[in-house]
Amino acid sequence: MSLADSDRELVVSELDREPTRAEAALFENLWSEHCAYRSSRPLLSAFDSEGERVVVGPGDDAAVVALDGETYVTLGIESHNHPSYVDPFDGAATGVGGIVRDTLSMGAYPIALADSLYFGEFDDEHSKYLFEGVVEGISHYGNCIGVPTVAGSVDFHTDYEGNPLVNVACVGLTTEERLVTAEAQEPGNKLVLVGNATGRDGLGGASFASEDLAEDAETEDRPAVQVGDPYAEKLLIEANEQLVDEDLIESARDLGAAGLGGASSEMVAKADLGAHIELDRVHQREPNMNALEILLAESQERMCYEVEPNNVERVREIAERFDLGCSVIGEVTEGNYVCTFEGSESGERETVVDVDAFFLGEGAPMNDLESEVPPEPEPDLPDPDLTDAFDAVVSSPNTASKRWVYRQYDHEVGVRTSVGPGDDAAIMAVREAEQGLALSTGGAPNWTDAAPYEGARAVALENATNIAAKGATPLAAVDCLNGGNPEKPDVYGGFKGIVDGLAEMCETLSTPVVGGNVSLYNDSVAGPIPPTPTLAMVGAKDGYDAPPLSVAADGDLLLVGDRGLATDDVRLGGSEYLAQFDGSDRFPALPDDPAALIETLTAVADEDATLAVHDVSHGGLAVALAEMVTADAGLEVSIPGDDPAGTLFHEQPGRALIQTDAPAAVRDAFDGVAPVVELGTATDDGALTIDAGGRTIETDAATIRERRATIDRDLE
């Protein structure tokens, strides 16, 4: 990839000269889709990013929201899609490292990770290779740095075969006194690079992430993939903590996309300032590196700090204590962003970059692209045997247990995990505020492929329902918006749909979208990916306890919020049932008042009479019921209606199964908010019996566990 002719003309006009080789490369990377959001930024104003608890919104390395008057939560999400196709282990591992450093740059300590992963069909050998490598990379890096991976999702869909998605979120904790931002503060302050030495890995990573994957990407694009060192990252985490504790940092930026050039220029551009950087001062691990390589290498585990001159030596002492490299590479100025280099044979210092920092960071022109609204699918409903359909949906890799994934993660390190992976949402104990922090993250490619706008609304509601099921109130969200080549009108139309859908539902739920990431050009020779919004949402509750997902051996089971049953309009669009049996249908209608539903579910989940709560979503009611039974507690349920397949397998979000000792109280709570249907009662034998339209499905916890072990069975 090189600087486009139209962009070069704009740069030449601004500089009144031809750019140097280093300048051209810097513009190419910082004006890429990955960094400048040239196709997506015109759409992102749809998001409501403000709220009384929002401290730092979009535009920084991570967002910051107030949990209480003293404790702040940081929240960030990042994609590492192209690198994870080329090198699944290092691509995924460095994605984790990058989002953790985004957390550090806010003055926060990372307390939890979540991953949302998307691959081609599970029975494809190459998809399995990518899946295993990505999970290994995430688990290795997260376990080594001691940050628990507590939540996430895994989806398989044929259109990810040539371009998997790896989206990683990180949550951290800080306070008002410790908060740091990425905006430079004062001319004369020094710029200090702390962390690993700079090598040639990751060169051109930002521009690589902004183009379609070619057939030979796994070999040709390998140099654009960074190589991670989690042990150095752990040292950097602890060093950063001490630097913040001692109030030595004025501003900070993680060295991610476009390396040192990206981090340092963005810091000063935010404050309408400049910098003078001497590139040869950067500590390096490879010989004979030139100015462009030093400027743009995306070597990992590095931070750029703005430091007052009188604090530089103390920063150096702390870096040395943690066995980290430290270079004073320049200072903040009131002029241009200037980089010099003394590396020529003559020994003379050469100016290789001299540009206005704001123009470099914000001058890229936005794209005005055509879009087409995707057509609504026509109903084409299959008619399999009900028991066969139940078995197929429950055992699908998309709805089956993800235990093979999360058992590789140390989800208890840090002793904050109250509810871990495998539940609707994780809960972290924030003892500083005596509150539980709920975390849900995920997307639904079947939904957004079938109906981008409504599917994205459903993704937002689904994550909020996960949080409410644990008795927590949604607080804020960040998104990772993944799409194909936006220059194709149908692809851009689908992408626009997911943006508008997420924005509408999050605003309806009074849950501000405080930050995020955009990843486009996720196309390969296999075609574009489905429009894929990943949402990471946090919620808060008093205390750290939550109702379990599994039923107790006694109590009534209620289904809350099923609009299809209430209106006799069951729609199967986007369901795993249709994916299994090659059907199509319209997407389900969502609840009339989702905000009231979430508020009421949160309150009911925390009632003493509530024994268990489980969100109903992927796989529909059939999978939710199967997930709730255990060897010690079963269910006898009767499904109302004349369409048992539709009722069992439709995937309208905003529904929950509630086991309670006080069914009348639950009905009263939801009166005028959402329909409530009594399904049956719990038993003490571990059996699941479903009476649906005169047909009966009989199974038990052991059989269900075996059916849901699809991934474990295939990969062990």
Q: What confidence tens digit (pLDDT) does each residue in 684-709 have?
A: 999 999 999 889 999 999 999 999 99
Task: Give the tens place of pLDDT for each residue, 199-213.
Answer: 988 775 454 444 545
* Assigned token pair, 161: 């075969």
Q: What is the dihedral of CA 419, 420, 425, 430, to 10 degrees?
A: 50
The answer as to whether 604 is a domain residue is yes
| pLDDT reported for residue 345 | 62
Q: 446 a known binding residue?
A: no
Q: Which amino acid is at 681?
A: T
Q: 290 a known binding residue?
A: no
Measured distance CA(176)–CA(56) in Å, rounded: 11
Q: 517 a known binding residue?
A: yes
The answer as to whether 689 is a domain residue is yes
Q: 398 a known binding residue?
A: no
What does pLDDT average to over the chain? 94
| Position 312 confidence tier, pLDDT thresholds 50, 70, 90 | very high
DSSP type of residue 120: S
| pLDDT reported for residue 226 | 74
Measured distance CA(689)–CA(625) in Å, rounded: 10
Distance of CA 678 to the CA centre of its chain: 36
Which residues span the domain enclosing 656? Answer: 547-715
Q: Based on the structure, what is the number of domains in the chain?
A: 1
Number of Cβ atoms within 10 Å of the Cβ of 696? 12
3-state SS assignment for residue 620: helix
* Assigned token pair, 133: 């490598």
Measured distance CA(668)–CA(708) in Å, rounded: 36
Instruction: Enumerate the active-site residues.
Output: 34, 80
Q: 479 a known binding residue?
A: yes
| Position 641 confidence tier, pLDDT thresholds 50, 70, 90 | confident
Q: 300 a known binding residue?
A: yes
The answer as to whether 125 is a domain residue is no
Strand segments, DSSP code E, in 553-706 are: 556-560, 610-616, 634-639, 655-660, 676-683, 687-692, 695-700
Q: 298 a known binding residue?
A: yes
The answer as to whether 325 is a domain residue is no
The answer as to whether 591 is a domain residue is yes
| pLDDT reported for residue 227 | 83
Q: Tokens 């992963």 label which residue?
A: 117
Q: Report, as an integer, the average pLDDT of 146-169.
A: 96
| Position 566 confidence tier, pLDDT thresholds 50, 70, 90 | confident
Share of the chain above pLDDT 90, in %: 89
Residues 6+ apart with CB under 8 A from 47: 58, 479, 499, 502, 503, 506, 512, 513
Q: Report, as an integer, the average pLDDT of 241-247.
A: 98
| pLDDT reported for residue 210 | 46
pLDDT over 70 (residue 221)? no
The answer as to whether 663 is a domain residue is yes
Measured distance CA(274)–CA(445) in Å, rounded: 43
| Position 142 confidence tier, pLDDT thresholds 50, 70, 90 | very high
Report the candidate in 106, 263, 257 with the shortest Cα–Cα distance to residue 191.
Answer: 263
CA distance between the termini of the chain: 41
| pLDDT reported for residue 228 | 87
Measured distance CA(541)–CA(601) in Å, rounded: 13
Q: 29 a known binding residue?
A: no
The answer as to whether 698 is a domain residue is yes
> Burial level of 415, CB count in 10 A (0-12/13-18/19+)?
exposed
Q: 345 a known binding residue?
A: no
Measured distance CA(178)–CA(248) in Å, rounded: 10
How far is the CA of 560 from the CAs of 68, 360, 434, 600, in angstroms? 31, 52, 30, 11
Task: Give the tens place of pLDDT for each residue, 580-601.
Answer: 999 999 999 999 999 999 999 9
Q: Please list the alpha-helical segments (H only) found in 247-395.
A: 259-270, 291-296, 312-321, 357-362, 386-395
| pLDDT reported for residue 493 | 97
Q: Which amino acid is at 428?
A: M
Task: Give the tens place of pLDDT for each residue, 384-422.
Answer: 999 999 999 999 999 999 999 999 999 999 899 999 999
The answer as to whether 702 is a domain residue is yes
Asked if 509 contacts 28 with a C-beta cutoff of 8 angstroms, the reply is no
The CATH number of whichever domain residue 658 belongs to comes to 3.90.650.10
Q: Report, as an integer, the average pLDDT of 57-61.
A: 94
